[in-house]
Amino acid sequence: MTRRTRAARPDWRRAPRRPPALAPGAAIAVVAPASAANPGKIRRGALALERLGFDVRVSPQAFERSGHFAGVDERRAAALRAAIRDPAIGAIIFTRGGFGAARLLPLVERDLARAEPKILVGYSDATSILTFATGKLGWVTFHGPMIASDFSKTLRPIDRASLLAAVRGEEAKPLRLTATIRSGVAEGRTFGGCLSILVSLLGTPYAVDFADRIVFLEDVNEEPYSLDRMLTQLRQAGQLARACGIVFGEMVNCGTRRQILEVLTDRTRDLGIPVAFGLPSGHGRGKQTLPLGVRVRLDAGRRVLEVLESGVSP
């Protein structure tokens, strides 16, 4: 049995632990912590990232398969540990989501806890790893596009520019939202990711803590009743009431827009905090990069989320 490292609960009044900014030509590791991906998509995605001027190093493990996983747990964990430990690697971008990252947490948490922050980029099932790094260790992580899921296709210029600005430490443009659920203005640090993954962590040592956060929640291919069920679980766990603001993603294929907004409104309207909908990141049609762990200002009435500080150190 793996001996668990107990990371101290971060004091959110302190500065977040920012990874170093990526310089031109920096080395980026590509790792598959969850489901297996099509090898051709991995190669195309890595080439697209390489064309942006980076030294892209794809772990051989990314091409492995064991059932629906990209290799057995130990192999996936070893690849992630190797990228974390390698001083030449400036960033780690995951291949895709699916399922499997949570199975790695007991195998990699000690290495993450001992390491200096590195840029971690992903979404979907990678939320497990991003949540641990941000929520338990105080790292800034990045909810952004992945290699096989997104880079293997043609990223929109606005999405490519968003990622590059985030990892280089350039000033972030305000993120435009599409609907106000409850007006108001709030400031706090970002936290969150894929709703179903966050809910799956409840009751574990890696459970979420929304205290004083601007919480970002997104998902894909969930029925409206499933969104209701997961938000109800977060409410009854006492987490939604701890947030100072909530931003929902685009919730693609989760019902009609009307159905989605009815559920989100019903589950959040009595919280007394600003709530907005439509941030284009993750599973949505848009692939904007959202730093997690940085101060932001949510103006739900104006439907704007402003990033107030860099997610990387110079």
Judge whether 124 counts as a catalytic residue: yes
Hey, which residues does 276 pair with through a beta bridge? 180, 247
What is the distance in angstroms between the CA of the first residue and the CA of the last residue of the chain? 40
Choosing from 35, 124, 196, 310, the catalytic residue is: 124
Hey, which residues does 143 pair with through a beta bridge? 122, 290
Among 204, 234, 202, smallest CA distance to 217 is for: 234
Judge whether 162 counts as a catalytic residue: no
- What is d(CA 287, CA 160) in angstroms, rounded to the nearest whole number? 8
- Given this model, what pLDDT does residue 73 score? 98
The full DSSP string for 222-275 is: --HHHHHHHHHHHHHTT-GGG-SEEEEE--BTSS-HHHHHHHHHHHHTTS-S-E
Cβ density class 224-262: b for 16+ within 10 Å, e for less = bebbbebbebbeebebbebbbbbbbbbbeebbeeeebbe
- What is d(CA 87, CA 116) in angstroms, rounded to the nearest whole number? 10
pLDDT one digit per residue (tens) for the chain, 314 residues: 334 444 444 555 578 999 999 999 999 999 999 999 999 999 999 999 999 999 999 999 999 999 999 999 999 999 999 999 999 999 999 999 999 999 999 999 999 999 999 999 999 999 999 999 999 999 999 999 999 999 999 999 999 999 999 999 999 999 999 999 999 999 999 999 999 999 999 999 999 899 999 999 999 999 999 999 999 999 999 999 999 999 999 999 999 999 999 999 999 999 999 999 999 999 999 999 999 999 999 999 999 999 999 999 99
Choosing from 218, 222, 250, 281, the catalytic residue is: 218
- Given this model, what pLDDT does residue 1 score? 38
Hey, which residues does 246 pair with through a beta bridge? 215, 275
- Given this model, what pLDDT does residue 7 score? 44
Structure pTM?
A: 0.95
- Given this model, what pLDDT does residue 142 score? 98
Q: Which domains does the chain have, with CATH numbers?
A: 27-168 (3.40.50.10740), 175-307 (3.50.30.60)
